[in-house]
Amino acid sequence: MKASHPPILATKLLGLLVSGPHGDALAGDLIEQYLQGRSAVWFWRQALLAIIVSFTKDRTLGGPAVLGSLLVLLLMIVSVGRHPSSLGSGLFIMDLALLSGYGAFSIWVWRQRRPEEREALAAGAHTGVILGVVLIASHAIEWFAPVETRAAQLVRGAGSVLLTLGLLGAAGSAAWQRTRSTMLAVIAGLWCGSLAVVILLSFALTLNLAFEAHAAARLHEPFVRSGMGDAGAFVVRNSLEAASEILIRIPIAALVLAFSGGASNAWMMKRPRRLAVLAAWFTPFFFVAGAASLWYADSLNRAARPPFVMAGVLTAGIALCGAHPIWSSLSSRRGDRPRRS
């Protein structure tokens, strides 16, 4: 005899995992058809199909980020399980706690229904995917490329850092442009950084598991200095340490830069168009000056580099963070230009 209520687990999963304004209506429609005679197997099949469709259509990418956080967690557990001696420094527990926060944030994003919030989160998601691809490319070049020259290392390292700064600022600026809310601009920047971190860690930890011998060879010298007896355990501990740093640093940078991007866009929109034109002319010079400072710093002794590195990153970062607000201000006011008679 068929139960009078649809499968409880499938119903709860449907309500929890199907995002967007039509989720409740879809669940109600499936329940109604079940009560009219559909089977429990049919209800499960339709519920799972609805969840998959929701994943693919969700512009905020909250659902995929939840799965990505679980994947990173699984990769860490498998890595530590293969080399238990990598434990002992507290890094694994810290990473678990941080990933739990990322997962909770992803679930919150997934369940947002208000159009303004979804617009801001979609802007952060699109920028986050781009940032994730940039970070993956930098990591892949470092991993697979032959020994790099100092100039190539500078271009790769400084380039990925500067693009990270620029994209985090652009996420906040784009979200403000869509919503006119500084708070949502900051949330979009945090979401951009979180998504990029999950993408990067999924890629990096998968590489470490698939090519552990290659990773151990790359880290041979620091492994010898560490005094550890298991090269694989040293690789895992190094990965956990790098993951802790990026899990903490990227959200902090995103908070500052997204606020700066949103505030810059808000300030620029209230000013005359000629100011945006003037900024567009001078921004490339700021970027070139910052890049030149970084290039010069690479020629100095390590002790003398910090002032020039900080100046270069700050100057070039300001130029990149200001690019989207300037473009947004110019493109939104094209119709304000006086026409020739």
Distance set, CA 83 to CA 228, 231, 234, 243, 249 (Å): 12, 9, 9, 17, 27
Instruction: Quote the pTM value.
Output: 0.82
Residue 341 pLDDT grade (very low, low, confident, very high; cuts 50, 70, 90): very low
Mean pLDDT, the chain, rounded, equals 84
Distance set, CA 120 to CA 176, 190, 270 (Å): 7, 11, 21
Which of 11-15, 167-171, 281-285 has the weakest average pLDDT? 11-15
Q: Which residue has the tokens 């930098």?
A: 138
Residue 335 DSSP one-character state: G
Residue 34 pLDDT grade (very low, low, confident, very high; cuts 50, 70, 90): confident
- Output the pLDDT for position 194: 95
Whether 294 contacts 309, CB under 8 Å: yes
Domain ranges of the chain: 1-57, 58-334
Q: Which of 128, 120, 71, 69 is nearest to 97 (CA)?
A: 69
Query: What angle, rounded to 10 degrees, do the helices at 231-269 and 182-210 form?
Result: 160
Which tokens hold the place of 46?
């339709």
User: Averaged over 7-36, what is the pLDDT?
Assistant: 73
Which of 1-15, 154-168, 186-200 has the weakest average pLDDT? 1-15
159 Cβ contact partners less than 8 Å away, ≥ 6 residues apart: 138
Q: Which of 101, 174, 178, 77 is nearest to 131 (CA)?
A: 174
Which of 15-24, 52-61, 311-320, 323-332 has the weakest average pLDDT? 15-24
Angle at 222 between CA 218 and CA 225, to 5 degrees: 145
The percentage of residues in the chain with a pLDDT greater than 90, rounded to a whole number, is 31
Q: Which of 65, 52, 64, 57 is nearest to 20 (CA)?
A: 57
Is pLDDT above 70 for 160?
yes
Residue 326 pLDDT grade (very low, low, confident, very high; cuts 50, 70, 90): confident
Which of 119-133, 140-154, 171-185 has the weakest average pLDDT? 140-154
